[in-house]
Amino acid sequence: MDFYIVTGVSRGIGEAIVRKLLILGNTIFCVSRTMNEDLVETASSLHIPIFYHEADLSERKSAEKFMQEVFTHIDPERINRIALINNAGMLDPIAPIELADPLIMEKHLKLNLLAPAVLTSLFISHTQRFNIPKVILNISSGASGFPYSGWSMYCSSKAGLDMMTRTVGLEQSTQEFPVKIMALAPGIVETSMQTHIRQTDKSLFADKDKFVLLHEQGKLISPETVAEVIVKTLFNPGIPQGGVLNIDELRHFII
C-alpha cells in the first residue's frame, strides 16, 4: 500500500494532488484548517481510505500532533511507498515591510517555513528504518530566488524552504535508508492566492499589473496540471537528492 501525507488540501494545488491520488491501493492523510467535505465524500465513494485532520499548522503543537497521529494509523509491514507533500502556505502580509503586521509576519513564517521543517523532521524520524521509497516534496515558488516588493516574508520563507530542502538532502545522502527530498516551484498557478494578488492595492504590491496581465492572457497553470506532473514524478529515482526544481524541469522526469 502507498501512503501519502498532504498538507493544505482545502483547495488549490493540495486539493488537486489528493484528487489525483484517489486510486485503489493508496491511503491518504490530509490536513487543512477547514475540512474539504467534497474531497472526503469523493474518497468515500471510491472506497479510498482517507484520514482528514482539521488543524492550523502555523501552531507548532498542531503540526506535531498531526504527524504523530498519522503514524498511529500506519503499519510498517503494509507500506510499499510513503510520501509527505508540504503544500500548506500563505502569501500575506503583502506590503512593504514597514507596513507589515508583525503578528501576520510571525504566522507566515511559522506556516511557510517552521511547519514543513517540523513535519519533515518527524517524517524522517518515523520512517528512518523503513527500507522503502520515501519522498518529501516541498511546494516552493519562483519567488524564492526573485525579490518582489511587498513580498518580503513570502520570498524569504520560500528561499528558506529551498535551503532547508538542500540541507536535508545533504544529510539524507549519507543515511542507510535515505528519504528523498525535493522542492518544486510550480509556476504561476490559478489559485485563490492569485485572485488575492490581483485584488491587492498596487501601493502595497508594485508588480500587481504583471500578474493581472498573465491572467488576462490565459498564461496561468491549472492546479490539476501541476498535480498531474507531481503524481507522475514523485517517486522517480532520477530526481536529484535535495533538488530544487521548477515545473518544466520536473516534467522531464515523467516516465
Q: Looking up cell 521509497, which residue turns up?
A: 133
User: Could you tell me the three cell numbers for 143?
Assistant: 519567488
Let me know: does 150 contact 94? Beta carbons within 8 Å: yes
Catalytic residue selected from 4, 52, 148, 154 = 154
Let me know: does 69 contact 54? Beta carbons within 8 Å: no
Q: Which residues of 95-120 are buried (b: 16+ CB within 10 A; e: fewer)?
A: beeeebeeeebebbbbbbbbbbbbbb
Sheet holding 81-86, edge to edge: 50-54, 26-32, 2-7, 81-86, 134-139, 180-185, 243-246
Known catalytic residue: 52?
Answer: no
Q: Compute CA 214 distance to the chain's CA centroid, rounded to the nearest angstrom.
A: 23
Element (H, E) at 185: strand 180-185
Q: Which residues are catalytic, by number?
A: 154
